[in-house]
Structure 1
Amino acid sequence: MRVLIKGAGDLASGIACRLHQCGCSVVMTDLAVPTAVRRTVAFSRAVYERSAEIEGTTAQLCSNIDEMQNVLRRGEIAVMIDPEAKIRAQWKPDAVVDAILAKHNLGTCIDDAPIVIGVGPGFTAGKDCHCVVETKRGHYLGKCIYTGSAIANTGVPGNIGGYTTERILRAPCDGVFEPVAAIGDTVARGDICATVNGMPMRSEITGVVRGLLQSGVVVTKGMKSGDVDPRCERTHCYSVSDKARAVGGGVLEALLHLNFLAKQRENTRDEVTGI
Protein backbone atom coordinates (compact mmCIF):
# COMPACT_ATOMS: atom_id res chain seq x y z
CA MET A 1 0.00 0.00 0.00
CA ARG A 2 1.28 3.47 -0.93
CA VAL A 3 0.79 5.92 1.94
CA LEU A 4 1.41 9.66 1.92
CA ILE A 5 1.86 11.14 5.40
CA LYS A 6 1.48 14.89 5.73
CA GLY A 7 3.90 16.02 8.42
CA ALA A 8 7.13 14.36 9.54
CA GLY A 9 7.31 15.22 13.24
CA ASP A 10 7.74 12.66 16.01
CA LEU A 11 4.11 11.45 16.01
CA ALA A 12 3.97 11.25 12.20
CA SER A 13 7.32 9.44 12.25
CA GLY A 14 6.04 6.89 14.77
CA ILE A 15 3.16 6.23 12.39
CA ALA A 16 5.59 5.96 9.47
CA CYS A 17 7.77 3.43 11.31
CA ARG A 18 4.78 1.21 12.05
CA LEU A 19 3.44 1.34 8.49
CA HIS A 20 6.89 0.81 6.98
CA GLN A 21 7.44 -2.27 9.15
CA CYS A 22 4.14 -3.65 7.81
CA GLY A 23 5.26 -3.31 4.18
CA CYS A 24 3.78 0.05 3.19
CA SER A 25 5.62 2.39 0.84
CA VAL A 26 5.74 5.65 2.80
CA VAL A 27 6.28 9.21 1.58
CA MET A 28 6.30 12.08 4.08
CA THR A 29 6.00 15.82 3.43
CA ASP A 30 7.06 18.72 5.63
CA LEU A 31 8.11 22.37 5.79
CA ALA A 32 11.41 23.76 4.52
CA VAL A 33 12.22 24.64 8.16
CA PRO A 34 10.69 21.89 10.31
CA THR A 35 9.69 22.70 13.88
CA ALA A 36 9.63 19.20 15.37
CA VAL A 37 10.85 19.41 18.97
CA ARG A 38 11.55 15.69 19.40
CA ARG A 39 13.76 15.77 16.31
CA THR A 40 15.90 12.75 17.27
CA VAL A 41 12.80 10.64 16.55
CA ALA A 42 11.40 12.75 13.69
CA PHE A 43 12.04 12.03 10.02
CA SER A 44 11.69 15.78 9.39
CA ARG A 45 15.35 15.88 10.44
CA ALA A 46 16.14 14.60 6.94
CA VAL A 47 15.16 18.04 5.60
CA TYR A 48 18.32 19.62 7.03
CA GLU A 49 20.51 16.52 7.49
CA ARG A 50 19.62 14.77 4.18
CA SER A 51 18.79 11.51 5.98
CA ALA A 52 17.39 10.34 9.31
CA GLU A 53 17.25 6.98 11.08
CA ILE A 54 14.78 5.87 13.75
CA GLU A 55 14.91 2.41 15.31
CA GLY A 56 16.55 0.92 12.22
CA THR A 57 14.29 2.61 9.68
CA THR A 58 15.92 5.15 7.36
CA ALA A 59 14.39 8.12 5.57
CA GLN A 60 16.01 10.13 2.80
CA LEU A 61 15.31 13.65 1.54
CA CYS A 62 14.12 13.71 -2.07
CA SER A 63 13.71 16.68 -4.40
CA ASN A 64 11.61 15.06 -7.14
CA ILE A 65 9.47 12.03 -7.88
CA ASP A 66 12.32 10.09 -9.54
CA GLU A 67 14.49 10.38 -6.42
CA MET A 68 11.46 9.46 -4.35
CA GLN A 69 10.79 6.31 -6.37
CA ASN A 70 14.44 5.25 -6.07
CA VAL A 71 14.35 5.66 -2.29
CA LEU A 72 11.14 3.63 -2.05
CA ARG A 73 12.65 0.87 -4.20
CA ARG A 74 15.54 0.66 -1.72
CA GLY A 75 13.01 -0.02 1.02
CA GLU A 76 13.43 3.36 2.71
CA ILE A 77 11.04 6.20 3.56
CA ALA A 78 11.03 9.26 1.31
CA VAL A 79 10.80 12.79 2.76
CA MET A 80 9.95 15.80 0.62
CA ILE A 81 9.80 19.54 1.27
CA ASP A 82 6.21 19.93 0.17
CA PRO A 83 3.97 21.69 2.74
CA GLU A 84 0.90 21.41 0.50
CA ALA A 85 1.60 17.74 -0.38
CA LYS A 86 1.43 18.48 -4.11
CA ILE A 87 3.31 15.23 -4.81
CA ARG A 88 -0.05 13.52 -4.23
CA ALA A 89 -1.18 14.46 -7.75
CA GLN A 90 1.83 12.71 -9.33
CA TRP A 91 2.24 9.73 -7.01
CA LYS A 92 -1.46 8.96 -6.48
CA PRO A 93 -1.20 7.20 -3.08
CA ASP A 94 -3.66 4.59 -1.86
CA ALA A 95 -4.00 6.51 1.39
CA VAL A 96 -3.31 9.97 2.80
CA VAL A 97 -2.66 10.41 6.52
CA ASP A 98 -2.77 13.99 7.82
CA ALA A 99 -0.45 13.93 10.85
CA ILE A 100 0.51 17.60 10.86
CA LEU A 101 -1.19 18.00 14.26
CA ALA A 102 -2.17 21.59 13.62
CA LYS A 103 -5.34 21.05 15.75
CA HIS A 104 -7.36 22.11 12.73
CA ASN A 105 -7.61 20.95 9.12
CA LEU A 106 -5.15 22.76 6.84
CA GLY A 107 -6.71 21.50 3.63
CA THR A 108 -7.10 17.72 3.68
CA CYS A 109 -10.19 16.50 1.79
CA ILE A 110 -11.97 13.16 1.89
CA ASP A 111 -11.40 12.69 -1.86
CA ASP A 112 -7.61 13.20 -1.68
CA ALA A 113 -7.15 9.41 -1.87
CA PRO A 114 -9.23 6.22 -1.64
CA ILE A 115 -8.47 6.24 2.10
CA VAL A 116 -7.99 9.47 4.06
CA ILE A 117 -7.15 9.49 7.77
CA GLY A 118 -6.98 12.53 10.05
CA VAL A 119 -4.81 12.35 13.16
CA GLY A 120 -6.06 14.24 16.22
CA PRO A 121 -8.50 17.15 16.58
CA GLY A 122 -9.62 19.24 13.63
CA PHE A 123 -11.08 16.48 11.45
CA THR A 124 -14.55 14.99 11.17
CA ALA A 125 -14.83 11.40 9.96
CA GLY A 126 -17.35 11.14 7.15
CA LYS A 127 -16.86 14.79 6.21
CA ASP A 128 -13.19 15.56 5.49
CA CYS A 129 -11.71 12.10 6.07
CA HIS A 130 -12.79 8.47 6.40
CA CYS A 131 -11.38 7.99 9.89
CA VAL A 132 -9.98 10.08 12.73
CA VAL A 133 -7.43 8.60 15.14
CA GLU A 134 -7.51 9.87 18.73
CA THR A 135 -4.29 11.49 20.01
CA LYS A 136 -5.25 12.55 23.53
CA ARG A 137 -3.42 10.53 26.18
CA GLY A 138 -5.70 8.33 28.24
CA HIS A 139 -8.28 5.60 27.75
CA TYR A 140 -9.07 6.42 24.10
CA LEU A 141 -5.54 7.04 22.79
CA GLY A 142 -5.19 5.44 19.35
CA LYS A 143 -8.93 4.79 18.93
CA CYS A 144 -10.30 4.76 15.37
CA ILE A 145 -13.30 7.05 14.96
CA TYR A 146 -15.40 6.44 11.83
CA THR A 147 -18.14 8.94 12.66
CA GLY A 148 -17.39 12.24 14.37
CA SER A 149 -14.23 13.84 15.70
CA ALA A 150 -11.40 13.37 18.17
CA ILE A 151 -11.50 14.94 21.64
CA ALA A 152 -11.05 18.72 21.32
CA ASN A 153 -7.62 20.17 22.07
CA THR A 154 -7.43 21.23 25.74
CA GLY A 155 -4.16 23.14 25.40
CA VAL A 156 -2.73 21.14 28.31
CA PRO A 157 0.04 18.63 27.48
CA GLY A 158 -0.35 15.05 28.65
CA ASN A 159 0.79 14.11 32.14
CA ILE A 160 4.26 12.56 32.19
CA GLY A 161 5.88 11.80 35.51
CA GLY A 162 3.40 14.06 37.29
CA TYR A 163 4.05 17.11 35.12
CA THR A 164 2.06 18.67 32.27
CA THR A 165 2.69 22.29 31.24
CA GLU A 166 5.85 22.47 33.38
CA ARG A 167 7.75 20.04 31.19
CA ILE A 168 7.31 22.12 28.03
CA LEU A 169 10.01 24.65 27.12
CA ARG A 170 8.59 27.75 25.43
CA ALA A 171 10.36 30.59 23.65
CA PRO A 172 10.76 33.61 25.96
CA CYS A 173 10.46 36.08 23.07
CA ASP A 174 10.39 36.39 19.29
CA GLY A 175 13.70 35.73 17.57
CA VAL A 176 16.29 33.17 16.55
CA PHE A 177 16.53 29.99 18.60
CA GLU A 178 19.95 28.75 19.74
CA PRO A 179 20.27 25.58 21.85
CA VAL A 180 22.53 25.57 24.90
CA ALA A 181 21.76 22.07 26.13
CA ALA A 182 21.63 19.01 23.88
CA ILE A 183 18.92 16.39 23.58
CA GLY A 184 19.79 13.69 26.12
CA ASP A 185 21.32 16.11 28.65
CA THR A 186 20.11 16.11 32.25
CA VAL A 187 19.07 19.55 33.47
CA ALA A 188 17.89 20.94 36.80
CA ARG A 189 15.12 23.41 37.45
CA GLY A 190 16.34 26.86 36.43
CA ASP A 191 19.03 25.62 34.03
CA ILE A 192 19.30 27.42 30.70
CA CYS A 193 18.40 25.06 27.87
CA ALA A 194 18.50 27.57 25.01
CA THR A 195 18.43 31.25 24.16
CA VAL A 196 16.28 33.34 21.86
CA ASN A 197 18.00 36.56 20.78
CA GLY A 198 20.18 36.13 23.86
CA MET A 199 17.25 35.76 26.27
CA PRO A 200 17.46 32.50 28.30
CA MET A 201 14.90 29.73 28.07
CA ARG A 202 15.04 27.88 31.39
CA SER A 203 13.73 24.50 32.47
CA GLU A 204 10.95 24.54 35.05
CA ILE A 205 11.71 21.01 36.25
CA THR A 206 14.58 18.55 36.66
CA GLY A 207 14.81 15.90 33.97
CA VAL A 208 16.29 14.86 30.65
CA VAL A 209 16.01 17.15 27.64
CA ARG A 210 13.88 14.95 25.38
CA GLY A 211 13.32 17.51 22.65
CA LEU A 212 14.79 20.80 21.46
CA LEU A 213 14.51 22.75 18.23
CA GLN A 214 17.52 22.91 15.94
CA SER A 215 19.78 25.95 15.80
CA GLY A 216 18.64 28.93 13.76
CA VAL A 217 14.87 28.38 13.82
CA VAL A 218 12.88 31.61 13.96
CA VAL A 219 10.41 31.32 16.84
CA THR A 220 7.67 33.45 18.35
CA LYS A 221 7.12 34.17 22.04
CA GLY A 222 5.43 31.23 23.76
CA MET A 223 6.16 28.80 20.91
CA LYS A 224 6.89 25.23 22.04
CA SER A 225 10.64 24.86 21.60
CA GLY A 226 11.67 22.00 23.88
CA ASP A 227 10.56 19.21 26.19
CA VAL A 228 12.04 18.01 29.50
CA ASP A 229 11.19 14.48 30.62
CA PRO A 230 11.06 14.06 34.43
CA ARG A 231 11.41 10.28 34.13
CA CYS A 232 15.11 10.81 33.32
CA GLU A 233 15.30 7.86 30.91
CA ARG A 234 17.86 9.00 28.34
CA THR A 235 17.02 6.13 25.98
CA HIS A 236 13.52 7.58 25.56
CA CYS A 237 15.10 10.43 23.60
CA TYR A 238 16.03 8.06 20.78
CA SER A 239 13.01 5.76 20.53
CA VAL A 240 9.42 6.12 19.35
CA SER A 241 7.17 7.20 22.21
CA ASP A 242 4.33 5.16 23.67
CA LYS A 243 1.90 7.75 22.31
CA ALA A 244 3.29 7.58 18.78
CA ARG A 245 3.19 3.76 18.84
CA ALA A 246 -0.46 3.80 19.97
CA VAL A 247 -1.48 6.33 17.34
CA GLY A 248 0.51 4.42 14.71
CA GLY A 249 -1.42 1.29 15.65
CA GLY A 250 -4.67 3.18 15.23
CA VAL A 251 -3.67 4.39 11.77
CA LEU A 252 -2.65 0.86 10.77
CA GLU A 253 -6.00 -0.50 12.00
CA ALA A 254 -7.88 2.16 10.05
CA LEU A 255 -5.95 1.41 6.84
CA LEU A 256 -6.63 -2.31 7.08
CA HIS A 257 -10.28 -1.85 8.06
CA LEU A 258 -11.07 0.66 5.33
CA ASN A 259 -9.20 -1.38 2.72
CA PHE A 260 -11.15 -4.48 3.80
CA LEU A 261 -14.47 -2.62 3.43
CA ALA A 262 -13.44 -1.41 -0.04
CA LYS A 263 -12.65 -4.97 -1.15
CA GLN A 264 -15.98 -6.17 0.23
CA ARG A 265 -17.77 -3.54 -1.84
CA GLU A 266 -15.83 -4.60 -4.94
CA ASN A 267 -16.71 -8.24 -4.40
CA THR A 268 -20.39 -7.39 -3.93
CA ARG A 269 -20.35 -5.28 -7.09
CA ASP A 270 -18.72 -8.12 -9.05
CA GLU A 271 -21.36 -10.58 -7.83
CA VAL A 272 -24.16 -8.23 -8.85
CA THR A 273 -22.72 -7.58 -12.31
CA GLY A 274 -21.69 -11.22 -12.78
CA ILE A 275 -18.07 -10.38 -13.48
Structure 2
Amino acid sequence: MKLDYVLIKGAGDLASGVACTLHRAGYRVMLTEIEQPTCVRRKVSFAEAIYEGQITIEGITGRRVGDLQSGLSVMADGEIAVRIDPLGQTLEELNPRVYIDATLSKRNTGISRNDAEVVIALGPGYDAGIDVHAVIETQRGPELGRVILSGFAIPNSGIPGNVLGYTSERVLRSPAAGKFTSILDIGDYVEVNQIVGYVEGQPVKTAIGGVIRGLLKNGLSVPVGMKLGDIHPEQNREVCTQVTDKAWIVGKGVLQAINIIREMASA
Protein backbone atom coordinates (compact mmCIF):
# COMPACT_ATOMS: atom_id res chain seq x y z
CA MET A 1 0.00 0.00 0.00
CA LYS A 2 2.97 2.32 -0.54
CA LEU A 3 1.79 4.52 -3.41
CA ASP A 4 2.03 8.15 -2.25
CA TYR A 5 1.36 7.63 1.45
CA VAL A 6 3.40 9.45 4.08
CA LEU A 7 3.28 8.54 7.76
CA ILE A 8 4.46 11.13 10.28
CA LYS A 9 5.11 10.22 13.90
CA GLY A 10 4.12 13.24 15.96
CA ALA A 11 1.58 15.95 15.17
CA GLY A 12 2.92 19.07 16.86
CA ASP A 13 3.39 22.41 15.10
CA LEU A 14 6.60 21.49 13.26
CA ALA A 15 5.23 18.10 12.19
CA SER A 16 2.04 19.83 11.05
CA GLY A 17 3.98 22.32 8.93
CA VAL A 18 5.70 19.37 7.26
CA ALA A 19 2.33 17.66 6.78
CA CYS A 20 0.89 20.77 5.12
CA THR A 21 3.89 21.01 2.79
CA LEU A 22 3.64 17.37 1.72
CA HIS A 23 -0.14 17.52 1.38
CA ARG A 24 0.18 20.48 -0.96
CA ALA A 25 2.78 18.51 -2.94
CA GLY A 26 0.21 15.78 -3.57
CA TYR A 27 1.05 13.23 -0.89
CA ARG A 28 -1.56 11.48 1.23
CA VAL A 29 -0.58 12.13 4.83
CA MET A 30 -1.38 10.45 8.13
CA LEU A 31 -0.01 11.57 11.49
CA THR A 32 0.09 9.57 14.72
CA GLU A 33 0.02 10.87 18.28
CA ILE A 34 -0.21 9.83 21.90
CA GLU A 35 -3.57 9.77 23.66
CA GLN A 36 -3.05 13.14 25.36
CA PRO A 37 -0.80 15.33 23.18
CA THR A 38 1.09 18.06 25.05
CA CYS A 39 1.88 20.50 22.23
CA VAL A 40 1.20 24.15 23.07
CA ARG A 41 0.79 25.69 19.60
CA ARG A 42 -2.56 23.99 19.31
CA LYS A 43 -4.03 26.26 16.62
CA VAL A 44 -1.38 25.04 14.16
CA SER A 45 -0.98 21.46 15.37
CA PHE A 46 -2.94 18.58 13.88
CA ALA A 47 -2.61 16.95 17.32
CA GLU A 48 -5.54 19.14 18.34
CA ALA A 49 -7.76 16.87 16.23
CA ILE A 50 -7.19 14.20 18.90
CA TYR A 51 -9.14 16.39 21.33
CA GLU A 52 -11.54 18.21 19.02
CA GLY A 53 -12.15 15.68 16.25
CA GLN A 54 -10.79 17.93 13.53
CA ILE A 55 -8.79 21.09 12.92
CA THR A 56 -8.11 23.19 9.82
CA ILE A 57 -4.63 24.66 9.38
CA GLU A 58 -3.72 26.87 6.42
CA GLY A 59 -6.87 25.64 4.66
CA ILE A 60 -6.05 21.95 5.19
CA THR A 61 -8.27 19.85 7.45
CA GLY A 62 -6.90 17.18 9.74
CA ARG A 63 -9.42 14.67 11.02
CA ARG A 64 -9.15 12.14 13.85
CA VAL A 65 -9.60 8.52 12.80
CA GLY A 66 -9.93 5.36 14.83
CA ASP A 67 -8.41 2.83 12.45
CA LEU A 68 -6.53 2.43 9.20
CA GLN A 69 -9.59 2.09 6.97
CA SER A 70 -11.03 5.34 8.29
CA GLY A 71 -7.67 6.97 7.70
CA LEU A 72 -7.52 5.80 4.11
CA SER A 73 -11.00 7.17 3.51
CA VAL A 74 -10.11 10.55 5.02
CA MET A 75 -6.95 10.80 2.93
CA ALA A 76 -8.85 9.80 -0.22
CA ASP A 77 -11.21 12.72 0.48
CA GLY A 78 -8.29 15.15 0.43
CA GLU A 79 -7.82 15.58 4.15
CA ILE A 80 -5.08 14.62 6.59
CA ALA A 81 -5.71 11.70 8.92
CA VAL A 82 -4.72 11.89 12.59
CA ARG A 83 -4.68 8.73 14.69
CA ILE A 84 -3.88 7.82 18.29
CA ASP A 85 -1.11 5.25 18.01
CA PRO A 86 1.52 5.32 20.77
CA LEU A 87 2.73 1.80 19.89
CA GLY A 88 3.36 2.45 16.20
CA GLN A 89 1.06 -0.16 14.69
CA THR A 90 0.09 2.17 11.83
CA LEU A 91 3.57 1.83 10.34
CA GLU A 92 3.07 -1.90 9.78
CA GLU A 93 -0.54 -1.54 8.66
CA LEU A 94 -0.06 1.31 6.20
CA ASN A 95 3.39 0.31 4.92
CA PRO A 96 4.00 3.88 3.73
CA ARG A 97 6.54 4.93 1.13
CA VAL A 98 7.79 7.73 3.41
CA TYR A 99 8.10 7.59 7.20
CA ILE A 100 9.03 10.68 9.20
CA ASP A 101 9.89 10.93 12.89
CA ALA A 102 8.77 14.43 13.83
CA THR A 103 8.54 13.90 17.59
CA LEU A 104 11.62 16.08 18.22
CA SER A 105 12.53 13.66 20.99
CA LYS A 106 16.25 14.44 20.49
CA ARG A 107 17.05 10.73 20.57
CA ASN A 108 16.27 7.68 18.48
CA THR A 109 13.18 6.07 19.97
CA GLY A 110 13.25 3.03 17.71
CA ILE A 111 13.07 4.33 14.15
CA SER A 112 15.08 2.46 11.50
CA ARG A 113 15.91 3.24 7.90
CA ASN A 114 14.41 -0.16 7.10
CA ASP A 115 10.96 1.10 8.14
CA ALA A 116 10.16 2.50 4.68
CA GLU A 117 11.70 3.34 1.30
CA VAL A 118 12.38 6.84 2.63
CA VAL A 119 12.92 7.40 6.36
CA ILE A 120 13.53 10.92 7.66
CA ALA A 121 13.97 12.40 11.14
CA LEU A 122 13.67 16.01 12.24
CA GLY A 123 16.36 17.51 14.44
CA PRO A 124 19.17 16.13 16.60
CA GLY A 125 19.50 12.63 18.02
CA TYR A 126 19.52 10.65 14.77
CA ASP A 127 22.50 9.54 12.69
CA ALA A 128 21.75 10.15 9.03
CA GLY A 129 22.85 7.22 6.90
CA ILE A 130 22.70 4.89 9.91
CA ASP A 131 19.43 5.40 11.79
CA VAL A 132 17.58 7.06 8.93
CA HIS A 133 18.17 8.00 5.31
CA ALA A 134 18.15 11.72 6.07
CA VAL A 135 17.95 14.18 8.93
CA ILE A 136 16.53 17.69 8.57
CA GLU A 137 18.15 20.55 10.47
CA THR A 138 15.65 22.23 12.82
CA GLN A 139 17.80 24.83 14.56
CA ARG A 140 17.12 28.39 13.43
CA GLY A 141 19.92 29.99 11.48
CA PRO A 142 21.56 29.58 8.08
CA GLU A 143 21.40 25.77 8.29
CA LEU A 144 17.65 25.54 9.00
CA GLY A 145 15.99 23.02 6.70
CA ARG A 146 19.27 21.56 5.44
CA VAL A 147 19.13 17.94 4.26
CA ILE A 148 21.75 15.86 6.12
CA LEU A 149 22.61 12.54 4.49
CA SER A 150 25.50 11.66 6.81
CA GLY A 151 25.92 12.54 10.47
CA PHE A 152 23.84 14.53 12.91
CA ALA A 153 21.89 17.77 13.16
CA ILE A 154 23.18 20.56 15.39
CA PRO A 155 22.70 19.59 19.09
CA ASN A 156 19.82 21.24 20.91
CA SER A 157 20.98 24.47 22.56
CA GLY A 158 18.19 24.49 25.12
CA ILE A 159 17.50 28.14 24.29
CA PRO A 160 14.19 29.00 22.58
CA GLY A 161 14.38 30.73 19.22
CA ASN A 162 14.78 34.49 19.15
CA VAL A 163 11.55 36.34 18.34
CA LEU A 164 11.88 40.12 18.20
CA GLY A 165 14.74 40.00 20.69
CA TYR A 166 13.13 37.60 23.18
CA THR A 167 14.11 33.97 23.79
CA SER A 168 13.45 32.18 27.09
CA GLU A 169 11.31 35.10 28.30
CA ARG A 170 8.64 34.05 25.81
CA VAL A 171 8.14 30.62 27.32
CA LEU A 172 5.65 29.79 30.07
CA ARG A 173 6.79 26.93 32.33
CA SER A 174 5.16 24.99 35.10
CA PRO A 175 6.08 26.25 38.60
CA ALA A 176 5.14 22.89 40.13
CA ALA A 177 4.01 19.36 39.33
CA GLY A 178 0.28 18.79 39.07
CA LYS A 179 -2.81 19.72 37.09
CA PHE A 180 -2.63 22.75 34.79
CA THR A 181 -5.68 25.03 34.86
CA SER A 182 -5.75 27.91 32.39
CA ILE A 183 -7.75 31.10 32.90
CA LEU A 184 -6.80 32.62 29.53
CA ASP A 185 -6.62 31.16 26.03
CA ILE A 186 -4.61 31.28 22.83
CA GLY A 187 -5.13 34.65 21.17
CA ASP A 188 -5.61 36.58 24.40
CA TYR A 189 -3.49 39.69 24.86
CA VAL A 190 -1.35 39.82 28.00
CA GLU A 191 0.84 42.23 29.89
CA VAL A 192 4.03 41.65 31.87
CA ASN A 193 3.53 39.58 35.04
CA GLN A 194 -0.03 38.60 34.14
CA ILE A 195 -1.44 35.31 35.40
CA VAL A 196 -2.29 32.88 32.58
CA GLY A 197 -3.26 29.92 34.75
CA TYR A 198 -2.32 27.81 37.73
CA VAL A 199 -0.62 24.52 38.56
CA GLU A 200 -1.79 23.18 41.90
CA GLY A 201 -2.63 26.71 43.02
CA GLN A 202 0.69 28.21 41.96
CA PRO A 203 0.33 30.98 39.36
CA VAL A 204 1.80 30.77 35.86
CA LYS A 205 2.86 34.33 34.97
CA THR A 206 4.10 36.06 31.85
CA ALA A 207 7.55 37.63 31.68
CA ILE A 208 6.69 39.78 28.66
CA GLY A 209 3.61 41.33 27.10
CA GLY A 210 2.06 40.35 23.79
CA VAL A 211 -0.35 37.67 22.67
CA ILE A 212 -0.64 34.07 23.87
CA ARG A 213 0.52 32.15 20.80
CA GLY A 214 0.54 28.72 22.42
CA LEU A 215 -0.99 27.21 25.54
CA LEU A 216 -1.22 23.66 26.82
CA LYS A 217 -4.61 21.97 26.83
CA ASN A 218 -6.49 22.79 30.01
CA GLY A 219 -6.62 20.06 32.65
CA LEU A 220 -3.49 18.08 31.75
CA SER A 221 -1.07 16.91 34.43
CA VAL A 222 2.43 18.34 34.10
CA PRO A 223 5.84 17.95 35.76
CA VAL A 224 7.66 20.95 37.21
CA GLY A 225 9.43 23.03 34.55
CA MET A 226 7.37 21.71 31.64
CA LYS A 227 6.61 24.13 28.82
CA LEU A 228 3.03 25.33 29.17
CA GLY A 229 2.87 27.96 26.47
CA ASP A 230 4.58 30.83 24.72
CA ILE A 231 4.02 34.54 24.26
CA HIS A 232 4.52 36.33 20.96
CA PRO A 233 5.86 39.81 21.79
CA GLU A 234 3.34 41.66 19.63
CA GLN A 235 -0.38 42.17 19.94
CA ASN A 236 -1.10 40.29 16.74
CA ARG A 237 -3.60 37.42 16.86
CA GLU A 238 -2.86 36.33 13.30
CA VAL A 239 0.40 34.65 14.38
CA CYS A 240 -1.60 32.20 16.49
CA THR A 241 -3.09 30.50 13.44
CA GLN A 242 -0.18 30.78 11.01
CA VAL A 243 2.31 28.02 10.36
CA THR A 244 5.73 29.50 11.18
CA ASP A 245 8.41 30.24 8.61
CA LYS A 246 10.53 27.66 10.44
CA ALA A 247 7.95 24.91 9.89
CA TRP A 248 7.59 25.79 6.19
CA ILE A 249 11.38 25.73 5.71
CA VAL A 250 11.68 22.37 7.47
CA GLY A 251 8.80 21.08 5.33
CA LYS A 252 10.62 22.15 2.15
CA GLY A 253 13.73 20.36 3.46
CA VAL A 254 11.71 17.17 3.93
CA LEU A 255 10.33 17.43 0.39
CA GLN A 256 13.84 17.95 -0.94
CA ALA A 257 15.12 14.97 1.04
CA ILE A 258 12.41 12.70 -0.38
CA ASN A 259 13.38 13.68 -3.92
CA ILE A 260 17.12 13.23 -3.27
CA ILE A 261 16.70 9.79 -1.70
CA ARG A 262 14.43 8.61 -4.52
CA GLU A 263 16.94 9.81 -7.12
CA MET A 264 19.77 8.03 -5.30
CA ALA A 265 17.75 4.81 -5.14
CA SER A 266 16.96 4.89 -8.84
CA ALA A 267 20.48 5.76 -9.98
Q: TM-score, normalised by structure 2?
A: 0.97
Partner of 1:163: 166
Distance 1:107 1:125 in 2: 14
| Deviation (angstroms), 1:185 | 1.0
Partner of 2:67: 64
Distance 1:134 1:90 in 2: 29
SS in 2 for 1:247: helix
Which of structure 1's runs of 4+ aligned residues deviate more than 4 A? none
2:66 maps to 1:76? no
Which letter maps to 2:148? I
Residue deviations 1:68-108 (CA, integer Å, cap 9, x gap): 11111101111010123211111100011100011111111
* Alignment map for 1:10-89 (pairs within 5 Å): 10-89=13-92
* Alignment map for 1:61-140 (pairs within 5 Å): 61-140=64-143
| Deviation (angstroms), 1:259 | 1.4
Partner of 1:195: 198
SS in 1 for 2:196: strand
* Alignment map for 1:133-148 (pairs within 5 Å): 133-148=136-151
Distance 1:196 1:169 in 2: 12
SS in 2 for 1:124: coil
- Return 5+ residue gaps in structure 2 as ranges: none
Distance 1:220 1:213 in 2: 13
| Deviation (angstroms), 1:13 | 0.2
SS in 2 for 1:140: coil
| Deviation (angstroms), 1:14 | 0.3
SS in 2 for 1:256: helix
Which letter maps to 2:120? I
State the structure with more CA Rg. Answer: 1
Identity %: 46
Q: TM-score, normalised by structure 1?
A: 0.94
| Deviation (angstroms), 1:65 | 1.0
Partner of 1:178: 181
Moved more, 206-215 or 228-237: 228-237
* Root-mean-square deviation over aligned CA pairs: 0.9
Distance 1:141 1:32 in 2: 30
Distance 1:88 1:74 in 2: 21
Which letter maps to 2:78? G
Which letter maps to 1:21? R
Which letter maps to 2:133? H
2:253 maps to 1:246? no
- Return 5+ residue gaps in structure 1 as ranges: 265-275
| Deviation (angstroms), 1:2 | 1.1
SS in 2 for 1:228: strand
Distance 2:244 2:21 in 1: 12
For the 8 Å contact 2:209–2:234, the answer to whether it is kept is no
Number of residue pairs the alignment of both structures matches: 264
Distance 2:229 2:263 in 1: 40
Partner of 1:222: 225
